[in-house]
Amino acid sequence: MGTNTIFLISMPGGSEWILIVLAVLILFGGRKIPEFMRGLGRGIREFNDAKSNVKREIEEGMHEKETK
C-alpha cells in the first residue's frame, strides 16, 4: 500500500504527456486550444495577483502591529 501512494502523487512521464496532449487535441480541436490557453493564463495571473494581495495585506497587518 505504501508504494501505491507514491505512484498516485508522481508527475506523468513523457509518454503520459503525449497521451494527455493527444486527448486534449481530440476533445477541444486545434481552434479552441489558444482560447483555452488564454483563459488558463488569465486564471493563473488572477490567482497570482490575489496571492500577492493577501501576502501584502498580511505584511501590512504585521507592520501595523509593530508600530503600535
- Give 5-54 pLDDT, tens digit per residue: 555 567 778 888 889 888 888 887 878 888 888 999 999 999 999 999 99
Find, among 48, 25, 26, the residue nearest to 37 by Cα: 25
Output the pLDDT for position 26. Answer: 86
Output the pLDDT for position 5. Answer: 56
Output the pLDDT for position 63. Answer: 81
Verdict on whether the full-model pTM lies above 0.85: no
Which residues, other chains included, contact 25 with Cβ-Cβ below 8 Å and sequence gap of 6+? 33
Output the pLDDT for position 23. Answer: 87
With contact defined as beta carbons under 8 Å apart, do 55 and 47 qualify?
Answer: no
Which residues, other chains included, contact 20 with Cβ-Cβ below 8 Å and sequence gap of 6+? 12
Helix (H, G, I), strand (E, B) or coil at 29: helix
